[in-house]
Amino acid sequence: MICPNCGSNVPDGSAVCPACRADLGMTVSMPRQEGRWCPNCGALVGEGDEVCPSCGMPQEPACGDGARAVDGLAPREARGEESPLGETHSIPRIESAIPSEEELALPSAQMDRLPRLRVLVLAVACALVVVGGGVVLITHPWDPAANDIRAKEDADTSMAGFPGLVRQLQGQDAGSGSASGSIESGDERTLRLLGDAWGQLGELSERLDQSQDELVSGYASSSSDELLAGKARADQLSIDISNLISSLSEIDVTSGTYAEDKQNLTTLGNWLRNRMDAVSSGWAKAVSFQDPSQHADEILSTVSADGGSPAESFKALFDQGYAQWEPKERPSRP
């Protein structure tokens, strides 16, 4: 039979064309018809018919002993005439490439219809990818931080000279926002915080000097409003001193390098607060009397400048210790 795709001769019963690999699984073999073909229209003319049933053209009888003339005309061969070169009155029969039902049942046809090996391999590979990807997605859900090697918990660096638990590194993990680019150790941070607290103690001591001088010089001549305003400033100063002492207690000196400095500054803060309590007591008495000038001894009993009052005693202790206990850099302890 003839392949309908490329026109190649294909053995009967084949399901695939050996030349173009076209699928011939749906072809049907047509039974060969008996007779001859009309040279005018190509229609099939039955044996013994003298006229084409399609176009009505007279037909020449078949050549041979039984050949006879049609309408008084004998065939060319009977008349001694030769047919022109290449001239033919027969049309080649083209069989359908669609095999018949009988041919489809042959074992060779069934083997031809099997899928190709590469199709099977490709199908198996796709199935493995789909199934394997689904299993991986279910058993290992995507986590953006799965490959993050940075620490997720606070690091205890107290034994290495750092301030206890570190929540954020100051080195390369801190990004490019660091101005100096250097890493501050725990002892360096402790010294910086102690130095800031020492400076704040000095500022609070100066404010306390002003409050005490204002009380001593103006309790008798100031109005009630002025006395109340002075007492309010003294109360705020007392709160500031207490807050500074609280912040001192939060400075980490676990390494031990600056533990003594922290204790010295705490002592200075306590002396400053004791002096503040004496001054606050004087302000409270001044605003409690209707005529403070008549109660000088009671008001100035805690802040007098004779050296025996509590305020003056704690002032002397503070001034002496403040000059000696300024935090300075020390070698780190092993």
DSSP 8-state class, residue 179: S
Which residue would you say has higher pLDDT here, 57 or 285?
Answer: 285
DSSP 8-state class, residue 172: G
Q: What is the mean pLDDT of residues 176-200?
A: 78
Task: Based on the fold, state whether residues 36 and 100 are members of the same structural domain.
Answer: yes
Look at residue 74 and tell me if it is in a domain.
no
Q: Which stretches within 140-185 are classed as H helix? A: none
233: its two tokens = 């400033």
Task: Based on the fold, state whether residues 206 and 301 are members of the same structural domain.
Answer: yes
Task: Based on the fold, state whether residues 126 and 38 are members of the same structural domain.
Answer: no
- Mean model confidence pLDDT for the chain: 77
Q: For residue 203, give the CATH number of its domain.
A: 1.20.1420
What pLDDT, on the 0 to 100 scale, is given for residue 51?
A: 85
Look at residue 293 and tell me if it is in a domain.
yes
Task: Based on the fold, state whether residues 40 and 126 are members of the same structural domain.
Answer: no
Look at residue 32 and tell me if it is in a domain.
yes
Q: What is the mean pLDDT of residues 266-295?
A: 93
pTM of structure: 0.48
pLDDT band at residue 176 under the 50/70/90 scheme: very low
Res. 174: pLDDT tops 50: no
Task: Based on the fold, state whether residues 193 and 317 are members of the same structural domain.
Answer: yes
Q: Bridge partners of 70?
A: 73
Look at residue 334 and tell me if it is in a domain.
no
Res. 277: pLDDT tops 60: yes
Task: Based on the fold, state whether residues 107 and 120 are members of the same structural domain.
Answer: no
Q: Which stretches within the chain are classed as H helix? A: 101-104, 107-112, 117-139, 186-218, 224-249, 259-288, 296-300, 310-324
Count up the domains in the chain and report the number: 3
Task: Based on the fold, state whether residues 261 and 218 are members of the same structural domain.
Answer: yes
Look at residue 173 and tell me if it is in a domain.
no
pLDDT band at residue 77 under the 50/70/90 scheme: very low
pLDDT in tens, 21-39: 888 776 555 555 667 778 8
What pLDDT, on the 0 to 100 scale, is given for residue 144?
A: 64
Task: Based on the fold, state whether residues 226 and 287 are members of the same structural domain.
Answer: yes
Task: Based on the fold, state whether residues 9 and 122 are members of the same structural domain.
Answer: no
Task: Based on the fold, state whether residues 266 and 294 are members of the same structural domain.
Answer: yes
Look at residue 161 and tell me if it is in a domain.
no
pLDDT in tens, 214-232: 998 888 888 989 999 999 9
Host domain of residue 29: 1-45+89-112
Look at residue 66 and tell me if it is in a domain.
no
Which residue would you say has higher pLDDT here, 70 or 1?
Answer: 1
Distance CA 169, CA 154 (A): 10
Q: Are 13 and 108 in contact (CB under 8 A)?
A: yes
Q: What is the mean pLDDT of residues 174-179?
A: 44
Which residue would you say has higher pLDDT here, 92 or 5?
Answer: 5
Q: What number of other Cβ atoms are within 10 A of residue 39's Cβ?
A: 16
What pLDDT, on the 0 to 100 scale, is given for residue 11?
A: 84
Res. 86: pLDDT tops 50: no
Distance CA 259, CA 227 (A): 41
Which residue would you say has higher pLDDT here, 91 or 199?
Answer: 199
Task: Based on the fold, state whether residues 100 and 202 are members of the same structural domain.
Answer: no
What pLDDT, on the 0 to 100 scale, is given for residue 126?
A: 93
What pLDDT, on the 0 to 100 scale, is given for residue 107?
A: 59
What pLDDT, on the 0 to 100 scale, is given for residue 82?
A: 52
Least confident of 51-60, 154-163, 269-278: 154-163
Q: Are 211 and 279 in contact (CB under 8 A)?
A: yes
Res. 196: pLDDT tops 70: yes
| Parallel/antiparallel/unpaired status of strands 36-37 and 165-166 | unpaired
Look at residue 159 and tell me if it is in a domain.
no
Task: Based on the fold, state whether residues 299 and 225 are members of the same structural domain.
Answer: yes
What pLDDT, on the 0 to 100 scale, is given for residue 138?
A: 80
What pLDDT, on the 0 to 100 scale, is given for residue 307?
A: 60
What pLDDT, on the 0 to 100 scale, is given for residue 160?
A: 57
Q: What is the mean pLDDT of residues 312-334?
A: 88
